[in-house]
Structure 1
């Protein structure tokens, strides 16, 4: 399995002070902190100034205004003259426009099929789950407190007796949000919220769902259900606080409803199923200069394995593929799919203009401290998560994913919002790479954390599931880590707990995308 073309395997023989990713690159990456005067024999240059780990060193003189390449791709333009051996970062590298050849569907790649399986929970309608929760959703922020009180009654750390007789139930989780009212009832903002809630209401990882509303909100339960083609029944129950007679009566009613749902929810067993039922949302957060060298291409290798086994991977975070979308359009199934991706990028350009923002406001401060300078550089590393598979479909936020293989969902780059859309679309597992460290989980889908470097794996070990840092020093390979990540995906889908699950993450990370006027 090979990773996306912008990633490269660091040398495994000997440990050089820097990593070169392409023969045409203008920079190399520091493996560790480099002091001024350090000699890089492989590049025949001497370092001029302090270079932090993961940051870039110029390997040739670069004139002001000239393009600068990493991964063999343009990551920006020199804002001043740069001498070989100098640090290349925000002080001398800036954004700029350049031509990108979309070459639609010119580099499609079909992977040889393979067989893989995990122990899943098969629902009566054929959907396959990786977890078995009871969910409590809210139509509006006003019902959030009641929903959380109902879920808290069943918390094993607070009231262990509540679920003592139901070992097959992973928990009762309340997924609340800050929207649902004071918006245009026919506008896009409410449409997206309703679509997101429906995706969760129908998610295979929920054995049953209770929806709690206030009663007078814009997002009326009946209208939401009609709009999304939902019907109340034993596995989807609804009520409003106003109809129940207030807070205390609503909490009591909610607790009783969940109690009634528990026996059926507990009556499940895991059984071997094909990996084609695994849908993995791909995320990266707190990225650093190593992300596109280690964890992202290793995850891309695992994605290729998943796709070859018939499964699905959802690449997202449109602002974080900006400037690298041409690498994905070349792998599109056809021109139509490629043009759909470009259309989402153009939407973001227009959106940013309207909001008086810039796409290069991403990378974050932490990304820059880790060595990433421009959104072009960050995006080129981010798309490595997608491996080398054919891009089969493009979806809008929280749309139900029906295609198999590698797909793209249009989401913001903010991880909780992005992952919420992926799970609404059907993701039953999240794979999340991080270089600066991240504390994140995603109920009802388990989330695996992949550390890009040894430091963050050791420093934040309580949160990291997989260490990819050895790729940078040559002690392991992208291929080996890719195989390991895929194995961990299957084990996690089979019920093995991730670090974030052990910590109880998941309920606070439900963040539907909100945009449009609040009135």
Structure 2
């Protein structure tokens, strides 16, 4: 009788109760190095028990708790939704006990990129003109203005302005029927304010309807902004209707183009990079390949004086204690815990649970609980100290690794990061998320080689070689860091080539709509 070859799996920590299948496991397969036999079909990226686990007992991956056995689990058995549940457990926050000295690269030795230096010293990675809307009612006219300058439809419109990356309309579904003094409007105004003064915009036009709750003068006042040659505003009602509004918008954008085109890229320090960290369409490999690769690149970025913004609060839930240990001060760690407590209360008020995350695709990819997803997700943050915690869309002024409180939904999360000043996004995916961002370019990292082969048209870097044994995390981290610099210098990402970015602007809507 022909023998069955041992199956390949990954053990992430000596104390783990499970291993991760690299390939499809079939009942009867011996598991290489584990002394157990698979008891049935286990898909790639999914978990298999390596010891007997009693009902109610914690189950460990990454050396941390990812859930509790719903029933007795035998060695070799598939561990997933049918036999693994969430549960409460104490976390030791140990504020700052793991903080350490970061070996920063001296200023004169730091990596550089070809950036666009604005008059006030801020550095851009792209050079767009943006059209923002105060309310959903002005979205159509804003899109019509931007469409006039689309190179794929009207190539002549920007033919004389090669240094302008494009004209983009970032519209949304809010701006009215909310409390004028409430949190929802304040959040929207903060988001719009962050975009209105983003370094990647050479000029911004804000278009309103005229009668909305989110009045443009009040928006500017709350954000400390004043209208000037590069920040213009008007409304449909004051302009005399749709056709006149579109014509006026085109005229205003046209008046901004000559000045926007005068920019020239120049060599600047990597300390001017602010990178938003995202993962979407995660799978069982995300915390093994692409997220650690991004973490290795983040460590390099921080050592060179740059900023990395970790977010998606529901997707660090259950793993936040690993970040509080790295907090630079107790105050920073307590800020993070306060945001976790806010989310627990928020979910309770809406009869929801933090474990409504992972998504269906995450679960199909092998992730069972939000605890497991969170432990893999924070690998994006590398190993440096957590230096500050921000609320959604607040301006990020600290250098180093910071955290911004956002939902786990990628477009909302990245919108907050860009509003905070991120001039580049790095996005890991295992299932194949199609995403791009404007005005900040987005690099997409595939967690596995099968995804890379299937959807390389949307991916910028394959991290599947880590799992295949062909690549090393640190080496790929260096490759990604260099890709960050090249992208910041103007190299186009896959999502930019496909025209992603305008539809992915999604401010966080919170609170009652009346």
So what's the TM-score if we normalise by structure 1?
Answer: 0.97
C-alpha displacement at 1:41, in angstroms? 3.0
In the other structure, the counterpart of 1:10 is none
Q: 2:30 matched to 1:35?
A: no
Instruction: Report whether the alignment pairs 1:134 with 2:112.
Output: no
Q: Provide the alpha-carbon RMSD of the alignment.
A: 0.7
Kept after mapping to 2: 8 A contact 1:132/1:169: yes
Equivalent of residue 91 in structure 1, options 82, 93, 102: 82
- The CA deviation at 1:109 is 2.5
Q: State whether structure 2 residue 261 is matched by structure 1 residue 266.
A: yes
Aligned equivalents of 2:480, 2:81: Cα separation in 1: 33
Residues 323-379 of structure 1, C-alpha deviations (whole Å, 9 max, x = no match): 000000000011000000000000000000000000000000000000000000000
**Match of residue 474 from structure 1:** 469
| Partners of 1:432 and 1:146 in 2: CA distance | 31
CA distance in 1, matches of 2:237, 2:88: 55
**Residue among 36, 44, 69 paired with 2:35:** 44
1:338 aligns with one of 333, 337, 342: 333
Partner of 1:209: 204
1:423 correspondence with 2:418: yes
What secondary structure does 1:420 align onto? Answer: helix
**CA distance in 2 between partners of 1:381 and 1:122 (Å):** 36
Q: Is the 8 A contact 1:109 1:388 kept in 2?
A: no
Partner of 2:481: 486
- The question of 1:365 aligning with 2:356 is answered no
Does structure 2 retain, via aligned residues, the 8 Å contact 1:16–1:42?
no
Deviations 1:414-467 (A, max 9, x none): 000000000000000000000000110010000000000001111111100000
Return the offset for 1:111: 2.4
Among 217, 220, 223, the residue aligned to 1:222: 217
What are the superposed Cα offsets for residues 128-147 of structure 1, whole Å, 9 maximum, x if unpaired?
00000000000000000000
Partner of 1:497: 492
Asked whether 1:22 is paired with 2:13, we answer yes
Q: Is the 8 A contact 2:7 2:25 kept in 1?
A: no
Shift of 1:473: 1.8
Report 1:311-326 matches (<5 A): 311-326=306-321
Indicate which of 184, 197, 204 corresponds to 2:192: 197
Runs of 4+ in 1 over 2 A off after TM superposition: none
66, 71, 77: which one pairs with 2:68? 77
C-alpha distance in structure 2 between counterparts of 1:41 and 1:136, whole Å: 57
Question: Normalising by the residue count of structure 2, what TM-score does the alignment of the two structures yield?
Answer: 0.98
CA contact (8 A) 2:7 2:29 kept: no
Counterparts in 2 of 1:57 and 1:182: CA distance versus 1, 3 Å = same
Q: Equivalent residue for 2:3?
A: none
Structure 1 distance, partners of 2:182, 2:163, is: 40
Q: Deviations over 1:111-132 (max 9, x none)?
A: 2122111100000110100000
8 Å CA contact 1:446, 1:501 repeated in 2? yes
* Residue in structure 1 matched with residue 451 of structure 2 by the alignment: 456
3-state SS of paired residue (1:160): coil
**Matched residue of 2:227: which SS?**
coil
Q: What's the offset of the Cα at 1:16? A: 6.2
Per the alignment, residue 188 of structure 1 pairs with: 183
User: Secondary structure of 1:136's match?
Assistant: strand
The aligned counterpart of 1:12 is none
Q: Give the Cα separation in 2 of the matches to 1:29 and 1:109.
A: 31
Query: Partners of 1:290 and 1:156 in 2: how far apart?
Result: 38
User: Which runs of no fewer than 5 residues in structure 1 stay unpaired?
Assistant: 1-14
1:4 maps to: none
Partner residue of 1:240?
Answer: 235
CA contact (8 A) 1:26 1:59 kept: yes
Question: Is the 1:111–1:304 contact (alpha carbons within 8 Å) kept by the matching residues of 2?
Answer: no
Q: Name the structure 2 match of 1:289.
A: 284
Partner residue, 1:103: 94
Contact preservation (8 Å) 2:9, 2:32: no
Q: Deviations over 1:469-518 (max 9, x none)?
A: 01012111111111111010000000000000000000000000001010
Distance 2:136 2:212 in 1: 9
Residues in 2 aligned to 1:348 and 1:285: alpha-carbon distance in whole angstroms: 20
Report which structure shows greater RCO (CA 8 Å, sep ≥6).
Answer: 1
Equivalent residue of 1:393, what SS?
A: strand
Distance 1:61 1:143 in 2: 60
Q: What is the rounded CA distance, in whole Å, between the counterparts of 2:199 and 2:218 in structure 1?
A: 23
Are 1:276 and 2:271 an aligned pair? yes
Q: What is the CA deviation profile of residues 239-270 of structure 1, one whole-angstrom value per residue up to 9, with x for unaligned ones?
A: 00111100000000000111110000000100
| Partners of 1:398 and 1:424 within 8 A in 2 | yes
Query: May I ask how many residue pairs the two structures share in their alignment?
Result: 505
The one of 22, 37, 46 equivalent to 1:55 is: 46
How far, CA to CA, are the matches of 2:115 and 2:244 in structure 1? 37
